[in-house]
Amino acid sequence: MRKVFQAELQQVGDDLVEIANLVQVALRRAASSLLEADVQEAEEVISNDARIDMLQNHLDERSIDLLALQGPVASDLRMIVGALRMSASLERMGDLARHVAQVTRLRFPEPAVPSDLEGTLREMIELDETIIAAVINLLETRELHYADAVYTAKARINELHQSVFSKVTTAEWSSEAQTTIDVTLLSRYLERFGDHGVSVARKVTYLVTGEWDGSPTTTPPA
């Protein structure tokens, strides 16, 4: 019985990694669709998001069955409750990648990103890619230096998120309102993606150490 339980618990961990891998692919493809104004790539990100949602539901059902049938305690219990929480964060990261793809689709055939903000948004995307890669490594190895990589990347994203608003409100900014809306939302989606990565990193850290660390919390809005 104990052996079956450990195998089931391992499966919950594997499911989390699988979802995180799909989120990584979704982000990469959403970014590519955005920067290349590639509507077909955007469509695929949008339709593939259903698979992330389905996997999250499976993981949740598995977790609830484990709680019901095994009555786990102590660290096993916290791991299962933590998995329920982390799956929700990862699912939301998938949604945010989908939202980026939806902006691409709405503006097609025009690019959604104006050339003077392309560098900033590209750097935010790269930092989100660093974050999801570190989250996957953290889930697989539980080595906490990967959590530090997440927090460092998020701190830089926060700076860039603020810089987008600074740029848009300078006298030189002459793009139309639609572009202002698009970059405001894109910057927010990319900031939120990173923030959910921080949530997952904090949860794994808590599971490993039993203590909440002093990692950065949610950014205030611009």
Which window, 11-19, 21-29, 134-142, 173-181, contacts its own copies (CB under 8 A)? 173-181
Out of 185, 207, 208, 215, the only residue in the binding site for its own copies (CB under 8 A) is 185
Asked if residue 74 binds its own copies (CB under 8 A), the reply is: yes
Nearest to 143 by CA among 65, 209, 50, 58: 209
d(CA 54, CA 140): 21
Question: What is the maximum span of the chain, computed from C-alpha positions, in angstroms?
Answer: 68
50 near its own copies, rule: CB under 8 A: no
Determine if the peptide bond prior to 109 is cis (ω within 30°): yes
75 lines the binding site for its own copies (CB under 8 A): no
Q: Give me the residue label for tokens 């639609």.
A: 178
Contact between 78 and its own copies by CB under 8 A: the answer reads: yes
User: What minimum distance in Å lies between the beta carbon of 43 and its own copies?
Assistant: 13
User: Least distance (Å) from its own copies to the CB of residue 74?
Assistant: 7
Please tell me the distance from the alpha carbon of residue 131 to that of residue 91, in angstroms, as a whole number: 15
Site membership for its own copies, residue 176 (CB under 8 A): yes
Distance separating alpha carbons of residues 19 and 94, to the nearest angstrom: 9
Question: Pick from 118, 141, 181, 209: which binds its own copies (CB under 8 A)?
Answer: 181
Which letter does DSSP use for residue 143 in this model?
A: -
- Cα–Cα dist 51/27, whole Å: 14
Site for its own copies in 84-103 (CB under 8 A): 84-85, 88, 95, 99, 102-103
Within its chain, how far is the Cα of 24 from the centroid? 8
**Nearest CA to 196 among 120, 91, 98, 114?**
91
CB of 185 to its own copies, least distance (A): 6
Q: Which region among 11-19, 33-41, 76-84, 142-150 touches its own copies (by CB under 8 A)?
A: 76-84
Residue appearing with tokens 């990319």: 190
Contact residues: its own copies, CB under 8 A: 64, 67-68, 71, 73-74, 77-78, 81, 84-85, 88, 95, 99, 102-103, 106, 165, 168-169, 173, 176-178, 180-181, 184-185, 188-189, 218, 220-222
